[in-house]
Structures are given as C-alpha cells and as structure tokens.
Structure 1
Amino acid sequence: MEKTKLELAVGVFVLVGVVCLGYLSIKLGKLEVIGGNLYEVDAQFNTASGLKPGATVEIAGVEVGRVKSITLKDDRAMVRLAVDNGTRLYTDTIASIKTRGIIGEKFLALSPGGGGDPLKPGDMIRDTESGLDLEELVSQYVHGKVN
C-alpha cells in the first residue's frame, strides 16, 4: 500500500513537471499555440538575406509581431508578418530589414505611417527597404566597384 502511494505521488509530480516545462517552452519561445491576437500582412523585398522565420517585427524598438514565413514570388522575397491586433498599420507603412549590431541577428522594423488607409489582414506593405549586405559591400570594395 505504501509503495503504491509513493509511485502515485512520483507520477503526479513528474506529470506536473512535464506540464510546467511545456508551458515555459511555449512562453519563452514566444510560440502561438492557439491563433493568438494576431493578423497577417505581406511585404515584398528585393532580398531578405539573413532574415529568418520567427524574427521579431518592431516599431520604435518595441516588439509587435514576428516574421511568419519567407517565400519566393516573382523573383522577389515575399515576407509574411504576424502582427498584434492592437498595432495599427497603414498603407504608407515602410518595412525595413535591419541588423542588431554589426554582425547581429536580422529583424524587421516598421514605420507605421498614418496618412493612408488602415491595412487589413492579407494586405501588402508596398514600401520596403532590403537589408544591408556587408559581404556584398566588401566584395565591391575589394574589386574596386565602389563609387
């Protein structure tokens, strides 16, 4: 009888531990398990070099979403963003690929504008700026193609 109670207590303890570990993994990984309060918009870039799905989307240094996917469409990079519902974006929004530090991770910075109509889920951000590619700049310098 005593052994059964001990095994039951250990089993419950392990189960609670696994549930807590799963919860922390989802929260710390900033994953959305059930939909979340997000809407999706697209942006096309000449190059999305270094940008990865899951990268942060920021306005004024504040995280407002994540990069959901990056695909190729008509020889351009199509980036799908999942943005918080409380964040208002307009048709004159500018999306820029930026780098943290000199060789840091890439993220997407938004300048939300305010003069156009609000963007609806599935709409396209028209004004984009691709990231600076240091390898390309060094290559141009080495081969004497810098103006």
Structure 2
Amino acid sequence: MEKAKLEMVVGVFVLVGILCLGYLAVKLGKLELVSGDVYEVDAQFNTASGLKPGSTVEIAGVEVGRVRGIVLKEDRAMVKLAVNNTVKLYTDTIASIKTRGIIGEK
C-alpha cells in the first residue's frame, strides 16, 4: 500500500514537471499554438538583412505581432507579418526594420 502511494506521488510530480517544462518551452520559445487572433500583412523591403521569422513587430515600442516568413520577390524582400486583430493597419502604413540592440537583432 505504501509503495503504491509513493509511486502515485512520484508520477504526479513527474507529470507536473513535464507540464511546466512544456509551458516554459512555449512561452520562452514564443510559439503560437493558436493563431486565430491575428491577421496577415505583406510588407516589401529593399533588404531584410538580420530579420528572421519569429521577430517581433512593434508599434511605438509595443509588441503587436510577429514575422511569419521572409521570401524574395522580384529583387525585394517580401515579409509576411502576423498582426494582432486589435491593431488596425491602414493601406498607407509605413514600416521600417530597426536594430534592437548592440548585437544587431532586428
């Protein structure tokens, strides 16, 4: 009886640990498990040097989305952005790629 109780406690502890690791992996990895609350926008740039999928999209320093992908289209970089539905972008919106820190992350 005592052994079964100990095995149950260890099993619950291991399960909670695995769930915590999964949660941290999603949060720290900034994965999107559900993408229903975003819409996609295409932006063209002369260069997307240093930009990569998963980079943040910000307006006035506030994160409003992520870069979904980057492809070459007619000698220009076509960047696909996933923007939160709560943010309204207009057709005349101007975007720029800026360096975030001293190591050059964008």
Does TM, normalized by the shorter one, top 0.5?
yes
Matched, 1:14 2:28: no
Let me know the Cα RMSD of the aligned residues: 1.4
Q: Is the 8 A contact 2:65 2:83 kept in 1?
A: yes
Q: Is the 8 A contact 2:50 2:104 kept in 1?
A: no
User: What residue number does 2:91 align with?
Assistant: 91
User: What residue number does 1:78 align with?
Assistant: 78
- 1:47-58 equivalences under 5 Å are 47-58=47-58
Paired residues in the alignment total 106
Distance across 1 between alignment mates of 2:103 and 2:20: 35
User: Which has the larger displacement, 83-92 or 18-27?
Assistant: 18-27
Distance across 2 between alignment mates of 1:93 and 1:40: 14
User: What residue number does 2:4 align with?
Assistant: 4
1:6-59, Cα deviation, whole Å (9 max, x unpaired): 112101110011112211221233221022411110011111111111111111
Distance across 2 between alignment mates of 1:91 and 1:77: 18
Larger radius of gyration: 1
SS in 1 for 2:97: strand
Matched, 1:64 2:70: no
> How far apart are residue 102 of structure 1 and its match?
4.5
- 1:123-138 equivalences under 5 Å are none
User: What residue number does 2:34 align with?
Assistant: 34
Distance across 2 between alignment mates of 1:103 and 1:6: 50
Distance verdict in 2 for CA 1:36–1:28, change over 3 Å: farther
Amino acid at match of 1:40: E
Unmatched 5+ residue regions in structure 1? 107-147
